[in-house]
Amino acid sequence: MNTATASITLGRQGYFAQRDWQDWAFALLVLASGLFAFWHYRGSMNGYEEVILACSMPSLVLLGWFWKPLRLLSVLVGATSILAIQLYLGKTDDFGADLAAAEQVFLLKYLLSSQSAILWMSLLFFMSTLFYWGGFFKGEGQDSAAEAIGSRLAWGAVFMALVGTMVRWFESHQIAADIGHIPVSNLYEVFVMFAWLTALMYLYYEQRFKTRALGAYVMLIISASVAFLLWYTVARGAHEIQPLVPALQSWWMKIHVPANFVGYGTFAMAAMVALAYLLKTASQRALLVGLIGIPAALILMILAVRFGASGLSAETVSGLDGWARKMGGVLIFFALCVALRTRLTARLPALTLLDDLMYKAIALGFAFFTIATILGAFWAAEAWGGYWSWDPKETWALIVWLNYAAWLHMRLMKGLRGQVASWWALVGLLVTTFAFLGVNMFLSGLHSYGEL
């Protein structure tokens, strides 16, 4: 029996036959936009970038077919980014924009320049978090009005983040020909990416599982990253666009870094789901030991190093103080969670759904983190002449990979479920956070591009 006969026999249409006119219109729009970009900017691309552009077109089409909200988001981001670029260009050509227009043109100054858009992203994420929690504490139904507003605000934040990213990419090319680069090269830029990627993945699962009750948890980790982003901007002037160091002037960066942050985002989301699971099921003693005792012990360890070790540099002391304050905030947050656990768990979905979401998030993140690690090895071979050098960042990336590989192995082979899996996922976020930020703060190496 051939494929066509089997399709008729089973009463199912083929994948492409299921597409409606809106699907094909979106595909044609993406194709036309990609061809325009190829024709208009080919002179600024190398062969690798042309391949990336060619691959991105069908990828975006398939993503838009898979999840329809992405189609409207893509169109709006594209149209708004073009508007911002035209406001910059005025009557000049594509590479002669006056960046001073960001302070002179109303829409750019208050809305569409990269820094303005990212500040709007920050505000919208904070507002989204408040509305999610507001709906949570009102004790309304699963689809409370406050949570619905929180979800829309999260979409708005993702939109502004993507517009800010696209415009920042354009702005970097206007400074000088050798400065322009995709904005994923430093802590400021990757924290923006972490925020919108994590939010977008959560919004997908929110729609798929038809519950907004977890938004209050997931948006907390996003708001924490945004708070760090704002602090980093004020403390270090990180929003200023800087030239790439030689090792980062590679096309590998364009695919390695985003793949990495899909992993970071899903691991963070899984940890927040795990926290919800534990608040709903763990004993009071276990919560006191795990959620309060462990952060308190870490604070004591940091303080012991801070005051017990001699010869520490002023920068190291400042870093230790910063981590002590951060862990103090974590301790206060967990203490509030334990104190309010009855209220915080009253409207959570079923435990099986929480467990399934945690598994799917880790599985997706692990797949992308694996790809990112392989790509990073190829990049290292090009930049430093070897696939692996046991650099601190590489070592801790391996620890993160082994941690989640073991989690998935125990899940698939031994049926790991429930509280053990949740505690493990929560500790995994701590390991991942150190691999991402702690290495930059306490360890030096070839990957020290985003110092704190």
User: Is residue 262 within 8 Å of residue 364, measured between CB atoms?
Assistant: yes
User: Is residue 442 within 8 Å of residue 319, measured between CB atoms?
Assistant: yes
Rounding to the nearest 10 degrees, give the CA dihedral for residues 26, 30, 35, 37.
Answer: 140
User: Is residue 37 within 8 Å of residue 30, measured between CB atoms?
Assistant: no
CB contact set of 39 (below 8 Å; sequence gap of 6+)? none
Q: Quote the CA–CA distance of 297 and 336 in Å, as a whole number.
A: 18
CB contact set of 188 (below 8 Å; sequence gap of 6+)? 229, 232, 233, 238, 239
Closest CA to 97 of 13, 171, 7, 167: 171
Q: Quote the CA–CA distance of 395 and 385 in Å, as a whole number.
A: 17
Residue boundaries of the structural domains of the chain:
70-239, 271-452
Q: Quote the CA–CA distance of 452 and 446 in Å, as a whole number.
A: 15
Tokens coding 227 = 């708070």
pLDDT of the chain along its 452 residues, tens only? 455 444 444 556 677 788 889 999 999 999 999 998 888 877 777 777 788 888 899 999 999 999 999 999 999 999 999 999 888 887 565 556 778 888 888 899 899 999 999 999 999 999 999 999 888 777 555 667 888 999 999 999 999 999 999 999 988 888 877 777 888 888 899 999 999 999 999 999 999 988 888 999 999 999 999 998 998 888 777 788 888 877 777 778 888 889 999 999 999 999 999 999 999 998 888 998 888 988 898 889 888 888 887 777 787 787 788 778 888 888 898 898 888 888 888 888 899 999 999 999 999 999 999 999 999 888 888 877 778 788 888 889 999 999 999 999 999 998 889 899 999 999 999 899 888 887 776 666 555 555 55
CB contact set of 162 (below 8 Å; sequence gap of 6+)? 73, 77, 196
Question: What single-letter DSSP state applies at residue 437?
Answer: I
